[in-house]
């Protein structure tokens, strides 16, 4: 074998896996958006077939030999190919550690789980979901043990989403947040509350909200020829290549803010995928490098930009145009305050920036408990509700607004949640760095966000998976990760809003 031959085999096999992944992704997206209710069984069979073929290619001798040859001849490769082979071997090692039928069975299980979760959430019926979530966690523990038999399975799981992340680091991170956020929240709550009563009790027609989504996608510079928007129970982003990205939102007739921030959040994910460098397209390095970096981009757009005073001033005329009767007599400043109201609440995706990390902490602690066996699936509602009472001081009225609210566990995204809090903190550090060279407020005020998105493209997006997440962050901000940028940002913002 020559290096050229090995590369050819490697590229062919990766292209095959990408095609299978594309087909599976579209099947799943279709299933979540427009497929009829009874379609799940047929989709499960097809996903099982396709994932079986993908498994065979990824773990088969041809690709393995080619990749190992290339690793042994890394000096012949350019840096991008060298990096790709390194990442491939790392990832395929995980896949290969799982027996094929368990791998395929898990894909089928997740397809079923989506349907079960949807119905359970709708009916607020946790017992219907309990056996599925139990099985999903058991499988994740087992897979983590297959992959790294000598390591704590939850550490293994965390590191799969964010390379190098451990419980120890995550605990320390959350402790830093708690130390600053809990007293800050206490001070905020002692002040007169922001008035957002004008948002309550009115109908915002879905058609107008759809137009608002289109407008928001334009504002945050999304190329709609490469990214479309759908509607799902739980908003998400998925991508098949850099010319085919999908975001989704969920419209609530009484609450236009919910969908507004879903669109901006998922739009942030989409921008990351849409601006991966052309040279990476078709390789396994295209697109976002990790979930925390991904969440740093989505929450950057959602909060650091989307909840800024300048952004609300920018978009408020459009809101008035689309919802004239609903917003009569309301000012942009009132809207700015309303979307930044800090208040312990039930739903993570609609939480303010200050309390958000506490929602994530609840999930993180529960995942740890499910992994080490100190919490059972059956106990989930009780534990969930107790933690919401402890950290947020709220009573959970039903499981629909409690443990069933998120789609992550039914989607197999176990170990994902810390990414949200980490991403929020990464984003604050990026913003501080960006502000050294970009007049962020002026860009937002002008309505042309390109100075901001250009910086993100140049320092984050274009690199795809070329660097491990921590290295990418350090290259972008010029120093190690420091969560105090985030806590400083929160303190400054909420002190101003609440006059502390």
Binding site for a copy of itself (CB under 8 A): 15-16, 18-20, 22-24, 26-27, 29-30, 33-39, 41-43, 45-46, 49-50, 53, 207, 224-228, 230, 240-241, 243-246
CB of 13 to a copy of itself, least distance (A): 11
Dist. CA 430–CA 424, nearest whole Å = 10
Give backbone dihedrals phi and psi of 140, rounded to 5 degrees, phi first. -65, -40
Closest CA to 414 of 379, 369, 378: 369
Is the CB of 128 or the CB of 394 nearer to a copy of itself?
128
CA distance 308 to 391: 26
From the CB of 356, what's the least distance to a copy of itself, in Å?
30
Q: Tell me whether residue 38 or residue 75 sits nearer to a copy of itself (CB atom).
A: 38
Q: Which residues contact 399 (CB under 8 A, 6 or more apart)?
A: 120, 124, 125, 126, 381
Instruction: Say how far residue 153 (Cα) sits from the centre of its chain.
Output: 22
Could you give the CA distance from residue 420 to residue 427 in angstroms, rounded to a whole number?
10
Q: Is 78 exposed, middle or buried (0-12, 13-18, 19+ CB in 10 A)?
A: exposed
In angstroms, rounded to a whole number, what is the distance separating the alpha carbons of residues 204 and 316?
Answer: 15
The conformational region for residue 164 under phi > 0 = left, psi -120 to 50 = alpha, else beta, is left
| Phi then psi dihedrals of residue 492, to 5 deg | -65, -45
Between CA 133 and CA 131 the distance in angstroms is 6
φ, ψ (nearest 5 deg) of residue 240: -110, -30
Question: What's CA 417's distance to the chain center, in Å?
Answer: 8
Nearer to a copy of itself, 100 or 166 (CB): 100
CB of 245 to a copy of itself, least distance (A): 7
Residue among 29 and 416 whose Cβ is closer to a copy of itself:
29
- CB-nearer residue toward a copy of itself: 47 or 360: 47
- Least spacing, CB of residue 42 vs a copy of itself, in Å: 4
Tell me if 101 sits within 8 A of 375, measured CB to CB. no
Active site residue 302: no
**Which CB sits closer to a copy of itself, 223 or 488?**
223
The residue annotated as part of the active site, out of 162, 266, 302, 365, is: 266
Burial 127-162 (b: 16+ CB within 10 A, else e): eebbebbebbbebbbebbebbbeeebbbbbbbbbbb
Residue closer to a copy of itself, measured from CB, 240 or 311: 240
Least Å distance, CB 214 to a copy of itself, is 13
The minimum distance between CB 25 and a copy of itself, in angstroms, equals 10
Supply the DSSP string of 226-271, one letter for each residue: TEEEEE-SS--EEEEETTEEEEEE--BTTBHHHHHHHHHHHHHHHH
Rounded CA gap, 203 and 281, in Å?
43
Residue closer to a copy of itself by CB (options 169, 210) is: 210
Query: Nearest CA to 460 among 219, 289, 247?
Result: 289
Q: Which is nearer to a copy of itself, 213 or 290 (CB)?
A: 213
Beta carbons of 297 and 272 less than 8 angstroms apart? yes
CA 178-416-304 angle, to 5 degrees, is 60
How many angstroms separate the Cα of 497 from the Cα of each of 192, 231, 260, 317?
A: 11, 33, 21, 22
CA 44 to chain centre: 24
> Residues with catalytic annotation?
266
């Amino acid at each position: 074998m020559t290096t050229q031959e090995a590369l050819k085999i490697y590229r062919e096999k990766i292209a095959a896996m990408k095609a299978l992944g594309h087909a599976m992704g579209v099947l799943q997206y279709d299933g979540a958006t427009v497929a009829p209710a009874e379609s799940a069984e047929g989709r499960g069979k097809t996903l099982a077939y396709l994932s079986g073929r993908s498994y065979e290619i990824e773990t088969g001798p041809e690709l393995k030999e080619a990749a190992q040859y290339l690793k042994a001849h890394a000096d012949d490769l350019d840096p991008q190919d060298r990096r790709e082979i390194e990442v491939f071997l790392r990832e395929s090692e995980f896949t290969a550690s799982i027996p094929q039928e368990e791998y395929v069975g898990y894909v089928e299980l997740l397809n079923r789980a989506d349907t079960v979760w949807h119905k359970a959430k709708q009916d607020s019926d946790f017992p219907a979901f309990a056996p599925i979530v139990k099985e999903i966690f058991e499988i994740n523990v087992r897979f983590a043990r297959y992959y790294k038999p000598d390591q704590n399975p939850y550490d293994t799981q965390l590191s799969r989403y964010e390379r190098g992340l451990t419980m120890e680091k995550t605990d320390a991170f959350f402790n830093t947040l708690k130390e600053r956020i809990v007293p800050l929240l206490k001070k905020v709550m002692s002040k007169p509350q922001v008035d957002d009563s004008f948002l309550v009790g009115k109908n915002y027609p879905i058609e107008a909200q759809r137009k608002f989504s289109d407008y928001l996608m334009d504002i945050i510079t999304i190329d709609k020829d490469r990214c479309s928007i759908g509607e799902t129970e739980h908003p998400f982003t998925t991508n098949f290549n850099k010319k085919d990205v999908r975001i989704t939102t969920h419209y609530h007739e009484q609450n236009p803010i919910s969908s507004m921030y879903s669109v901006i959040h998922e739009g942030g994910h989409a921008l990351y995928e849409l601006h991966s460098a052309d040279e990476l397209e078709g390789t396994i390095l295209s697109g976002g490098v990790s979930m925390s970096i991904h969440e740093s981009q989505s929450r950057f757009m959602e909060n650091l930009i989307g909840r800024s005073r300048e952004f609300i001033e920018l978009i408020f005329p459009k809101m008035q145009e689309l919802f004239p009767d609903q917003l009569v007599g309301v000012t942009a400043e009132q809207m700015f305050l309303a979307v930044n109201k800090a208040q312990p609440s039930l739903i993570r995706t609609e939480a303010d920036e200050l309390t958000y990390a506490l929602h994530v902490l609840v999930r993180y602690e529960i995942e740890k408990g499910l992994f080490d066996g100190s919490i059972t699936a059956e106990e989930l509602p009780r534990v969930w509700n107790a933690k919401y009472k402890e950290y947020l001081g709220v009573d959970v009225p039903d499981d629909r607004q409690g443990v069933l609210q998120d789609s992550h566990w039914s989607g197999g995204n176990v170990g994902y949640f810390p990414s949200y809090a980490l991403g929020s903190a990464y984003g604050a550090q990026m913003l501080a760095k960006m502000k050294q060279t970009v007049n962020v407020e002026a860009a937002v005020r002008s309505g042309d966000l390109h100075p901001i998105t250009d910086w993100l493209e140049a320092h984050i997006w274009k690199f795809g998976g070329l660097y491990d997440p921590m290295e990418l962050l350090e290259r972008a901000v010029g120093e190690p990760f420091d969560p105090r940028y985030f806590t400083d940002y929160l303190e400054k913002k909420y002190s101003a809003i609440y006059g502390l």
